[in-house]
Amino acid sequence: MTGTRRLYYEDQYMKEFDATVIDAWHNDDKTCVVLDQTCFYPGGGGQPCDTGILEGDGWHLVVERAYLDGDKIMHEGVLEGRMPEKGDKVHGAIDWDRRYRLMRMHTAAHIIGCVVKKLFNARFAGGAIGVDYSYDDYTARIKRDDLPRIEEEANKIVEAGLRHIVRIMDRDEAEKYLEKFGERLTELHEGLERIRILEIEGLCAFPCGGTHVANTREVGRIKLLKRESKGRGITRIRYTIEP
Ligand SMILES: [Zn+2]
């Protein structure tokens, strides 16, 4: 059996898709369905998974969680109707309002990362994207007084309407490419032969496996909420987007 084709990498804006069931089973009171292709993002890189619905002939699954298992994407949720079977044709739809907000929020993370890099020469050191609020950690001592300047610079990038470009390249090429932006691959990218890079047109580039908007203007206004020192020279910045 081959893995699940990841439609969210082919088109980050895909909301609905058709697919075929390759496996299905019950897991306590939940049902798990594996498809040959899907646009459900399985979570990862700090971005939560998609939710949504799968509809087959005689059944539908309210997908509460999608996750990666090896090279397959699991759709887990509450089943109504008969048990899905291998070969069943399926129409799937993700909760687009949720996903689009996560895409905007994730892009905001890259924009803030870009500004923090420029102002503090700091690196991204982990974070979590949420629907309502997000946070990112940076390798710099950032003070409360610094937040207005970071926010202002970030919103300049939003207002500039820069393209957010996806580039997929071989490891060697990716390393050279990232070097131009003062970035490098880390242990997170170990073992990957092909690297996906997100570039804010000419400004910054980060290796990333999440979903993002194609233009910085789509993010909306970035609002920095607070900063916290996490020790060892790491600062956490909490933020949201408006509306
Ligand atoms: Zn990203």
Q: How far is the CA of 128 from the centre of ligand 1 (A)?
A: 11
Q: What are the pLDDT digits (tens) for 28-49?
A: 899 999 999 999 999 998 999 9
Q: Environment class of residue 150 by beta-carbon count within 10 Å: exposed (0-12), middle (13-18) or buried (19+)?
A: buried
Q: How confident is the model at residue 187 (pLDDT cuts 50, 70, 90)?
A: confident
**How many Å lie between the centroid of ligand 1 and the Cα of residue 86?**
34
Predicted local distance difference test score (pLDDT) of residue 190: 85
pLDDT in tens, 74-129: 999 999 999 999 999 999 999 999 999 999 999 999 999 999 999 999 989 999 99
CA of 209 to the centre of ligand 1 (A): 6
At the top level of CATH, the class of 5-94 is: mainly beta
Domain with CATH 3.30.980.10 in the chain: 99-242
DSSP H helices in the chain: 7-10, 96-120, 147-160, 171-179
pLDDT for the residue numbered 189:
85
What is the value of pTM for the model shown? 0.95
CA of 61 to the centre of ligand 1 (A): 29
In this structure, the strands spanning 59-69 and 52-56 are antiparallel
* Nearest residue to 196 (alpha-carbon basis) of 13, 28, 8: 8
Q: How far is the CA of 211 from the centre of ligand 1 (A)?
A: 6
Closest CA to 132 of 55, 26, 241, 6: 241
- For residue 5, the CA-to-ligand 1 centroid distance in Å is 20
Does residue 27 have a pLDDT over 90? Answer: no
CATH architecture of 99-242: 2-Layer Sandwich (3.30)
Backbone angles phi, psi at 181, to 5 degrees: -105, 10
Is cis: bond before 243, omega within 30 of 0? yes
pLDDT number for residue 186? 84
Rounded CA-CA distance 68/234 in Å is 30
Contact by Cβ (8 Å): 42, 49: yes
Distance 81 CA to ligand 1 centre (A): 37
Q: Where in the chain is the domain with CATH 2.40.30.130?
A: 5-94
55 Cα: distance to centroid of ligand 1 (angstroms): 30
Q: Would strands 234-242 and 221-231 be described as parallel, antiparallel, or unpaired?
A: antiparallel
d(CA 48, CA 43): 5
* Ligand 1 centroid – CA 203 distance (Å): 15
